[in-house]
Structure 1
Amino acid sequence: MLSCYNPETFVKTPNILSFSKEATTFDQHWIGSAPCMPARRDILCGRLNFLERSWGPIEPFDVTLPSVLKEHDIFTHITTDHCHYFRLGGEGYVQQFNTWDYHRGQEGDPWVSRIDDPAMPKSSYGKVRRQYQWNRTKWPKEEEYPSPRTFASACDWLKDNQGKDDFFLMVEAFDPHEPFDVPEEYMKLYEDAKLDREYFEIPDYDRVNVPDDAVDYIQKRYAALLTMTDKWFGKLIDQLKELDMYEDTLMIMTTDHGYFLGERDYFGKNYMHLYNELAHLPLIVKFPKNELGGQRISKITQNIDIMPTVLEASGIAIPDSVKGSSWMKLIHDPQHYEKNYALFGYHAMAVNVTDGHYVYLRSPNSENKPCYEYTCIPTTIRKYLGKGLEPQIETGRYLKRTEYPLYRVPVNAPSIIDNVSCGMSEVKATKLFNLDNDYAEKINLAGVDHQAEEYCIKLLDKALDEHEAPAEQKQRLGLKD
């Protein structure tokens, strides 16, 4: 949807396009752990979350980017409207920073407290969240929406700290994310969007179950939200330039995962394979002093690389726990940039690997076992791990990087898909695609191109070892007896 990647897109994002022309655009940036909180643990820890556990908190043994920066007297701040940081399963993230700022109201954030029901639409497609309908009454103007408030607060933080060196500012906007809620002026940019219901902002996570006009409408509603987010991103860039803090600042713009808006007959995320719509991400980096400015880079990158990149740019040694690769080497020694694959996935589902030419989506065995979650803090999204399995939960020291005793919680079903009806059915078949010839991933070569599949199996086996995956992962994936 971004014009810097797809010039034919119908979506208007002029500020991101302008930024990309001044910065460096990466063409092989891949997801790591999915979805939201696993991706954030990847970013803050520089290693993959999904091999050991599902959605969950920062663990007491985690070595995080903000904590290392603070140890070296670099001030850290996060401003965000991401409500999952403040729910069960999101503990400990913002507390890694010196200071944090939270802008309330997104999704189901339990913010506006009313016993009575809000005004609800008379007809709708998808979901309508009662709590969100109350929350949205708090932003009659565009600048009062949570994501604009997030960007505005970042601009205020920069003004308050103008001219200061040695800081790490994480500006994290929840949008574009459902509910795809925008002021009407942005919908007018996509004038032919029509809907035969009063409301459609949150698709069901399922196969497409609405008419074609509604699919077109929700895509344009998403586009409108992306355009609004782009506007406020532009304000952040303008503020940095106005304060003369742009040229010597390392800036990284990326996201956590994609989203299906009718492609492949899917809505949402989580329950299907990590196809390119979900897994192949935007990454635009402005290096200090405009190094590599205006260039495109085709090296493999992931969000676990953010931590080592920021640390090396700050002159700080990279901890042994980090598995990502610093992008600073692309400036100083590009021939020796060591990353040549990306390993990615949801916990307890398929495990996937790409070298940028092939992508291999390896499904688990029919029982999806053995499979465990390893944690000191047994929370996950909106619930606790192991409910009903208490006699089967074990404790011990299972991860070589920590002496903390851990819970080892057996997994009967992946926690991230307990709210969808199709369970594991969408990932039961292994897939192999040649991206050079088939970027749309239409032709499954698994079981057909034996040479390519054997190459990918060896790459996956190597990747699991290098990322210290629990031993049972290979057994679950049928890579060993």
Structure 2
Amino acid sequence: MLPLRLFPVLAFGLLCTLSAPAREPAAAKPNILFLLVDDLRHDTFGFAGHEICQTPHLDALARDSHVFKNAFVTTAICMVSRASIFTGQYEARHKIHDFRTEFTADAWGQAYPQLLKQAGYHTGFVGKYGVGHKMAEARRTFDYWKGFAGQGRFFDPKRKGNQHLTALQGDQSLEFLRTAPKDTPWCLSVSFKAVHCQDGAKRQFPPDKRDETMYADVTIPPAPLSDPGFFASLHEPLQTSESRRRWEIRFSPKLFQETVKDYYRLLFGVDREVGRMREELKKQGMAGNTVIIFTSDHGFYLGERGLAGKWFAHEESIRIPLIIHDPRHEKKHTRPLTELALNIDLAPTILSYAGLPTPGVMQGRSLTPLLEKTKTEWRKDFFYEHHFIPNRLPESEAVRSERWKYIHWLAPKPGVEELYDLSKDPLERSNLASDPSHRETLATMRKRWKELKQEAR
């Protein structure tokens, strides 16, 4: 018989148990595999209609998933976009403007990894972190940490067998999947260095040695808008920018074929690792309860307009792939979604899968109502901004709507405007800003730019 003095303790414990909110069983919450590729365009996939790129595993994923046709970033540069992905905020709010700035403890406390951790998720991170160099807040959050600061190197003689970094990140991801607790939901964020270049290297996009012969017998078609006449019509500061300098060392006529093939080879390496992860999920019995989100931190010029890199508001730079796979939805998804999805929507979406609300400081929205075909009002346009090293990369802001794009180059003051009708001119060939017949549209888009700029703060 229990001593009488223990009854009050037991009674208090029972009362606490009955009054505490019931915790959702682990099985009811899905695991989340978030896959982020660096510098990856929206159109370099078989499922996107590309006739050269080989991406069999991503094509298979897309067939069983929701594919967003119109996904974009709000700033096309690594550290800013990654901060936006973590926090669901525009650069104007999260204020990660350069590669040195770290998250404050308060800011990180409202980022999706920390919120998942607090909700009982087992968390892991593999690859390029991209925000600051110390990464102190992230190291404290993730239960499994294989992140690194800076760019990393595709090949490193100190690495066993000089293994390609993409393959190493695949191995690390599999280790997480094999060791994750079976009774706890998990979120693994994998941030590939590929298909980013190796800055400063003679060979800018070195692939895995297994993929060296891929595309050897293929001739890559010239990049759209790559004729010198079109380059000469660009906003003048673009013609002497860092973007043009990088074009000269990557996409000039002697380099174009091998550079683009290496970019495609790096993507094939990523595709292989995605296939390995999906196979491991099946082996571990987790495939049926794991949501997979695949995307990029921004797009990339492959010589279009005589440019390289990202940074500017053209479609090649700001448009990204976005696949969301939820195996719990049995319905096949044959049509891509056409709504405007943004990188700031990713954190709210991840939180919603975990059953968590979107914090008030986040400016993005969960995409899950669109996936569930829930009737909801959705954005018709969005604000774009890029302010990093304006002496080398002309500063720009923009509004991209379902039909129109308005670009405002901030220098020389009071600014230079461009206007494109994307429904008739998807390659943005013809600037209509000086066309009298579009004066009213220009004024409307200029007004909207001012409104959205204020809302982004």
Give me the TM-score of the superposition, normalised by structure 2: 0.74
Shift of 1:467: 2.1
User: Which amino acid in the other structure matches residue 441 of structure 1?
Assistant: E
Cα deviation, residue 150, structure 1: 1.1
Given the alignment of the two structures, is residue 298 of structure 1 paired with residue 338 of structure 2, yes or no? yes
Matches within 5 A, 1:68-467: 68-80=115-127, 82=128, 84=130, 87=133, 91-92=135-136, 94-95=138-139, 97-102=141-146, 107=151, 109=152, 136-138=156-158, 141=161, 144-161=163-180, 163-179=182-198, 180-192=205-217, 205-208=245-248, 211-270=252-311, 273-290=312-329, 293-295=332-334, 296-332=336-372, 334-347=374-387, 349-367=395-413, 429-448=416-435, 449-467=438-456
Q: Residues 54 and 323 (structure 1 numbering): CA distance in 2 closer, same or farther, change over 3 Å?
A: same
SS in 2 for 1:6: coil
- The answer to whether the 8 Å contact 2:144/2:176 transfers is no
1:94 and 1:100 in contact (8 A); partners too: no
Identify if the C-alpha distance between structure 1 residues 207 and 431 changes in structure 2 by more than 3 Å, giving closer, same or farther: farther
Asked if the contact 2:89–2:363 (Cα under 8 Å) also holds between the matched residues in 1, the reply is yes
Q: 1:101/1:307 Cα in 2 relative to 1: closer, same or farther (>3 Å)?
A: same
Equivalent residues of 1:74, 1:168 under 8 A apart: yes
User: Given that residues 83 and 131 in structure 2 are in contact (C-alpha distance below 8 angstroms), is that contact kept between their aligned partners in structure 1?
Assistant: no
Partner of 1:59: 104
Following superposition, which runs of at least 4 residues in structure 1 exceed 6 angstroms of deviation? 103-106
**Structure 2 CA distance for partners of 1:302 and 1:83, relative to 1, 3 Å:** closer
Q: Which amino acid aligns with 1:444?
A: N
Q: How many residues align?
A: 372
Alpha-carbon distance in 1 for matches of 2:261, 2:300: 14
SS at match of 1:336: coil
Label 1:289 to 1:206 Cα distance change in 2 as closer, same or farther (>3 A): same
Q: Are the counterparts in 1 of residues 164 and 208 from structure 2 also a CA contact under 8 Å?
A: no
Counterpart contact for 2:399–2:448, Cα < 8 Å: yes
Do the aligned partners of 2:125 and 2:147 also contact (CA within 8 Å) in 1? no
Structure whose alpha-carbon radius of gyration is higher: 2
Match of 2:72 in 1: 30
Say if 1:92 and 1:362 are closer, same or farther in 2 by CA, change over 3 A: farther
Separation (CA, whole Å) in 2 of partners of 1:328 and 1:185: 38
Unaligned segments of structure 2, at least 5 residues? 1-42, 199-204, 220-242, 389-394
Q: For the residues of structure 2 that align with 1:317 and 1:429, how far apart are their CA atoms? A: 41
Give ranges in structure 1 of 5+ residues lacking alignment. Answer: 110-131, 195-202, 369-427, 469-481
Alpha-carbon shift at residue 49 of structure 1 (Å): 1.6
Secondary structure of 1:18 counterpart: helix
| C-alpha distance in 2 between matches for 1:237 and 1:261 | 29
Aligned to 1:46: 88
User: 2: CA distance between counterparts of 1:461 and 1:211?
Assistant: 38
CA distance in 2, matches of 1:219, 1:355: 30
- Whose helix proportion is higher, 1 or 2? 2
The residue type paired with residue 65 of structure 2 is: A
SS in 1 for 2:106: coil
Please say if residues 47 and 321 of structure 1, whose CA atoms lie closer than 8 Å, have aligned partners that are also in contact.
yes
Aligned alpha-carbon RMSD (Å): 2.8
Q: TM-score, normalised by structure 1?
A: 0.70
Taking structure 1 as reference, are residues 76 and 227 closer, same or farther at Cα in structure 2, changes over 3 Å only?
Answer: same
Residues 361 and 432, structure 1, Cα contact 8 Å, conserved in 2 = yes
1:29–1:282 contact (8 Å) kept in structure 2? yes
Partner amino acid for 2:405?
Answer: V
1:328-351: per-residue Cα shift (whole Å, max 9, x none)?
A: 111445321433222222126211
CA pair 37-96 structure 1, distance change in 2 beyond 3 A: farther
Q: SS in structure 2 opposite 1:34? A: coil
Residue 64 of structure 2 contacts residue 332 of structure 2 at CA under 8 Å; is this kept in 1? yes
Superposition deviation, residue 282 in structure 1? 0.4
Offset at residue 193 of structure 1 (A):
7.2
Instruction: Note the alpha carbon deviations across 1:454-480, whole angstroms, 9 max, x for none.
Output: 232233233223222xxxxxxxxxxxx
Per-residue CA distance 1:89-141 (angstroms, 9 max, x = gap): x644633633243366985x4xxxxxxxxxxxxxxxxxxxxxx69x5334585
